[in-house]
Amino acid sequence: MTVRRRANANSESVDNYLKAILSLGGAEESRVTSNALAQRLGVAAASVTNMLQKLAAGSPALVKYERHRGVQLSAAGKTRALEVVRHHRLIETFLYEVLDYRIDEVHDEAERLEHFISERFEERIAAKLGHPKIDPHGHGIPALDGAMPRQNSVPLTEVAGEGVYVVGSVSDLDAGVLKSLKLSGVAAGVRLRMRGMRDAKGKDEYAVSVGRSAKVLHLSRKAAEAIRVQAVEGRE
């Protein structure tokens, strides 16, 4: 079984940087600041600068980096980032659907495994799952050619006014938030009725009802930021 790339601490670190730049840059592939990367990865800003300089000087260069102007992925860096994201989301889906992992457990397990799987193993997982396009959190799974399924959703915090929405995805970056939302019934594909926002003791709270329930759930800004939604035509 041929391993796609070396499985060592250095390659894992590179993969994590590329994934973070891809995520923070968004669909527009905007420049990402060193401070944003440092916050996402939990490392010192100086360490980020050193790594970005190495990635930009490599052959092929994996990023386009200018000090004080931020960083973008090069074509090679984007290809590699999407490959690792595909690994990660296929593994999450396999763990959730086949091995019965809890939704809040799959991210950390996939983080450990994504760097090591071979092309053959990736193909077998995809075939076993029926070549899924969406992972358990609602995130798109890149195709083999790097194409990403289109998802027209916005963070719940950007919703203007009351209305009925469907959850497109729930972030897996914070297992605690993910577990809490799951216990409250909030998951990809579920309908939410947005009832409004209030300032509760200096902190934003978002009032929603899940599914057809009349019970009002008050979400913190952190929880609301983890949820991406799409509007549903009409009101129920």
CATH 3.30.465.10 fits 154-231, yes or no: no
132 touches 189 (CB < 8 A): no
Q: Give the DSSP H or E segment for 165.
A: strand 163-170
Q: How far apart are CA 125 and CA 42, in angstroms?
A: 31
* C-alpha distances in Å from residue 109, one per residue of 27, 119, 149: 26, 19, 24
**CATH code reported for the domain at 1-150:** 1.10.10.10
DSSP E strands in 29-153: the ranges are 63-66, 70-73
Q: How far apart are CA 33 and CA 67, in angstroms?
A: 9
Q: 102-111, pLDDT tens digit by residue? A: 999 999 999 9
The model carries a pTM of 0.87
Q: Give the DSSP H or E segment for 231.
A: strand 227-231
- What are the extents of the domains in the chain? 1-150, 154-231
Q: 162-178, pLDDT tens digit by residue? A: 899 999 999 999 999 99
